[in-house]
């Protein structure tokens, strides 16, 4: 989907500030939100990422990273019928009037151990597939100019741009949430596509600069003859 979250290639937001020795969490509540986000068993239509992406632009830009996660958890619970707006408002009001109220705690050492093991266990990301990739290294391609509803890994600023396949990563699970609930999407080829910097950002970009973006096959189509061999020759294959 198109939204304020898709900020790749955008200007005017200032430089990225890097914090030396940045902690994993700046506040204790952030770790609780992280735990809720990954461990909550609430079914979320189109996924929690989609809930983050549908946050209103002003709220999105003025919220911290984990504030967005928290809002996504809240909205997911409301949409799933686990929580109501009235219950949420009542609880917020109670905490404002009684800020020293103890936060409920539930000890579950076995569950905690299972989730820690799950997060630390490496899993293969490549999948087996009984078909041949549509493209090969060196092929000229164009990124499809599509605007899917729901979560997608296709950045807005590369749509419609032409490039060339620089690497094939194998078959991987599709991370989009545009399929019907309960439907399984077969794994698809993932490629690294080289896009010229000046094609993306105009003549002010460095003349020899390029962007390599990892992209699923569903986002690509064969390039027209106008890109042809000139694009193909720009990549050392």
Q: What is the pLDDT of residue 106?
A: 81
Q: How confident is the model at residue 220 (pLDDT cuts 50, 70, 90)?
A: very high
Tell me which of 4-8, 18-22, 183-187 is least confident: 183-187
On the question of pLDDT at 192 being above 50, the answer is: yes
The domain at 140-232 falls in which architecture? Roll (2.30)
On the question of pLDDT at 143 being above 80, the answer is: yes
Check: CB of residue 196 under 8 Å from CB of residue 163. yes
Domain ranges of the chain: 28-120, 140-232
Check: CB of residue 166 under 8 Å from CB of residue 188. no
Q: How confident is the model at residue 226 (pLDDT cuts 50, 70, 90)?
A: very low
Q: Angle 7-10-14 (CA atoms, 0-180°, nearest 5)?
A: 95
On the question of pLDDT at 227 being above 50, the answer is: no
On the question of pLDDT at 231 being above 50, the answer is: no
Check: CB of residue 37 under 8 Å from CB of residue 72. yes
Q: What is the pLDDT of residue 233?
A: 40
Check: CB of residue 174 under 8 Å from CB of residue 152. no
Q: Higher pLDDT residue, 186 or 178?
A: 186
Q: Identical fold at 28-120 and 140-232?
A: no
pLDDT in tens, 18-35: 899 999 999 999 999 998
Q: What is the pLDDT of residue 235?
A: 42
- Output DSSP code: residue 13: S
Q: What SS3 state is found at 189?
A: strand
Q: How confident is the model at residue 178 (pLDDT cuts 50, 70, 90)?
A: low
On the question of pLDDT at 193 being above 70, the answer is: yes
> Taking all residues of the chain, what is their mean pLDDT, rounded to a whole number?
86
Check: CB of residue 136 under 8 Å from CB of residue 168. yes
pLDDT in tens, 56-102: 999 999 999 999 999 999 998 998 888 999 999 999 999 999 999 98
CA gap 184, 170 in Å, rounded: 19
Q: How confident is the model at residue 39 (pLDDT cuts 50, 70, 90)?
A: confident
Q: Tell me the H-state helices in 121-169.
A: none
Share of the chain above pLDDT 70, in %: 91
CA gap 80, 71 in Å, rounded: 14
Q: What is the pLDDT of residue 180?
A: 52
Q: What is the pLDDT of residue 229?
A: 40
Q: What is the pLDDT of residue 179?
A: 55
What's the CATH code, domain 28-120? 1.10.472.20
Dihedral pair phi/psi, residue 4, rounded to 5°: -65, -25
End-to-end CA distance of the chain: 33
């Amino acid at each position: 989907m198109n939204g304020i979250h898709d900020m790749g290639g955008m200007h005017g937001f200032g430089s990225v500030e890097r914090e030396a020795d940045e902690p994993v969490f700046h506040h204790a509540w952030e770790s609780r939100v992280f735990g809720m986000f990954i461990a909550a068993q609430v079914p979320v239509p189109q996924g929690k990422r989609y809930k983050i992406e549908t946050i209103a632009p002003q709220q999105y830009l003025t919220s911290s990273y984990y504030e967005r996660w928290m809002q996504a958890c809240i909205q997911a619970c409301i949409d799933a019928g686990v929580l109501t707006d009235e219950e949420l408002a009542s609880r917020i009001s109670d905490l404002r009037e009684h800020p020293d109220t103890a936060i409920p705690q539930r000890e579950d050492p076995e569950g905690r151990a299972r989730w820690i093991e799950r997060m630390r266990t490496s899993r293969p990301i490549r999948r087996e597939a009984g078909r041949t990739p549509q493209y090969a290294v060196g092929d000229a391609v164009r990124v499809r100019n599509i605007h899917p509803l729901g979560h997608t890994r296709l950045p807005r600023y590369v749509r419609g741009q032409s490039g060339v396949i620089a690497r094939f990563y194998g078959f991987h699970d599709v991370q989009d949430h545009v399929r019907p609930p309960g439907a399984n999407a077969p794994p698809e080829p993932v490629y690294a596509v080289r896009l010229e910097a000046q094609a993306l950002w105009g003549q002010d970009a460095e003349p020899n600069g390029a962007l390599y973006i990892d992209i699923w096959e569903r986002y690509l189509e064969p390039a027209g003859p106008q890109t042809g061999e000139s694009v193909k020759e720009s990549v050392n294959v």
